[in-house]
Amino acid sequence: MIVYSESELSEINVTPFIDVMLVLLIIFMVVTPLVTSSLKVELPKAASKSQVDEKTPTIIAINELGEIKVGKSSANLDNLTFVLNGITKNNKDEVVYFYVDKAVSYEKLIVVINKIKESGYGKIALSTEVKE
């Protein structure tokens, strides 16, 4: 006859689980800044830096070739309003941030801004880099 001791309790070793979670956290921390914008944009310089909200911003990027991206979605002047409404869930009070390459013509920028304003978005911010 086999006798079992009641004092034996088995426990799960959580150390490997914690190690895996920390590695995943580090990977996400490294990758997140790289995913911000897949469109290469060289921003113009500004004399000062402004404050921005902490929530996820709505970004419209225009590169030197005039290609337009709203968030991660490509757009053109014809479907810009549709794409923007989809990303902002039709929230017209949302601030729209522009990341425009300094090589983009002023005329192209004004055309895009006018299209956004005609859609009902009134809060527009232009992003720049601080001069050193």
* pLDDT per residue as tens digits for the range 96-123: 898 998 888 889 889 998 988 888 888 8
Query: Is there a domain that residue 93 lies in?
Result: yes
Query: Is there a domain that residue 7 lies in?
Result: no
Q: Domain holding 94: CATH number? A: 3.30.420.270
Q: List the chain residues with pLDDT less than 70.
A: 1-9, 34-39, 49-55
Query: Is there a domain that residue 122 lies in?
Result: yes
Query: Is there a domain that residue 30 lies in?
Result: no
Query: Is there a domain that residue 29 lies in?
Result: no
Q: Tell how strand 124-126 and strand 96-100 pair up.
A: parallel
Query: Is there a domain that residue 33 lies in?
Result: no
Residue among 80, 70, 76, 68 nearest 119 (CA): 80
Query: Is there a domain that residue 109 lies in?
Result: yes
Overall number of domains in the chain: 1
Q: Which residue range forms the structural domain that includes residue 53?
A: 45-130
